[in-house]
């Protein structure tokens, strides 16, 4: 292809036609890559598009899926439902039958003063009611409690997710 813009358009066309199952951005600028993804005739569907980062940390016992640190700057609760479900669906594609999802905030308690904590609580309740499916979900959790069972225990957290996370959504206190 002629240039990186054309490469992005061609890659998206191949995905739309079913010639490829996954797109990898590579060294291309994010804006350029996503412009092709969300263009008319691209990959945008009913659910909100989100970014998922796959990280395999050498001494961590499982891979981590981190979302959404790139595409959705200030997601609404409705956006977060899609972002979490996208992460769960991606984990399934990657061979994880029941991912453990931590909804992150700066603290582990729900407070109306911090939207990330109330949104996490609402997302957990939505999962309880089958509105988000395919994973064990807990939150709000601080990052240390999500990835370290020692930290989770030190904070008195009893959860099938705390310290056992595979996927987490980064919703900081200003989101």
- The whole-number average pLDDT for the span 154-174 is 72
Q: What is the CA radius of gyration of the chain?
A: 17
Residue 145 CB coordination number (10 Å): 28
Contact 161, 136 (CB under 8 A): yes
d(CA 96, CA 73): 27
Residue 170 has pLDDT above 70, yes or no: no
DSSP annotation string for 72-102: -SS--HHHHHHHHHHHHHHHHHTT-SS-EEE
9 pLDDT band, cuts 50/70/90, is: very high
Helix axes 30-38, 4-16, angle to 10 degrees: 40
The band of 51, judged by pLDDT with boundaries at 50, 70 and 90, is confident
* Distance from C-alpha of 135 to C-alpha of 123, rounded to nearest angstrom: 12
pTM score: 0.82
Neighbours of 86 (CB within 10 A): 20
Contacts 24+ apart (CB under 8 A), 147-150: 147/60, 147/64
Task: Round to whole Å and give the CA distance between 63 and 41.
Answer: 33
Residue 42: pLDDT over 60: yes
Confidence of residue 148 (pLDDT cuts 50, 70, 90): confident
User: What is the distance between the alpha carbons of residues 125 and 145, in angstroms, rounded to a whole number?
Assistant: 20
**Residues 6 or more apart in contact with residue 79 via CB below 8 angstroms:** 48, 72
**50's tokens:** 């989100």
Tokens representing 68?
Answer: 């959404």
Rounded mean pLDDT of 51-60? 85
Report the pLDDT averaged over residues 134-143: 94
172 falls in which pLDDT band (50, 70, 90)? very low
Please give the pLDDT value at position 45.
83
Instruction: Give pLDDT tens digits for 61-115.
Output: 888 888 888 788 899 999 999 999 999 999 999 899 999 999 999 999 999 999 9
């Amino acid at each position: 292809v002629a240039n990186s813009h054309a490469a992005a358009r061609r890659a998206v066309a191949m995905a739309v036609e079913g010639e490829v199952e996954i797109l990898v951005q590579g060294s291309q600028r994010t804006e350029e890559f996503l412009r092709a993804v969300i263009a008319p005739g691209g990959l945008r569907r009913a659910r909100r598009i989100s970014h998922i980062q796959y990280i395999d940390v050498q001494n961590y016992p499982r891979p981590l899926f981190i979302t959404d640190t790139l595409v959705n700057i200030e997601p609404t609760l409705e956006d977060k439902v899609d972002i979490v479900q996208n992460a769960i669906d991606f984990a399934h594609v990657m061979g994880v039958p029941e991912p453990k999802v931590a909804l992150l905030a700066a603290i582990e308690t729900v407070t109306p003063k911090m939207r990330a904590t109330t949104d996490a609580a609402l997302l957990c309740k939505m999962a309880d009611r089958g509105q988000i499916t395919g994973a064990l979900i807990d939150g709000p959790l601080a990052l240390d409690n999500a990835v370290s069972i020692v930290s989770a225990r030190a904070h008195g957290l009893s959860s099938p997710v705390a310290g056992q996370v595979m996927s987490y959504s980064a919703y900081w206190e200003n989101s």
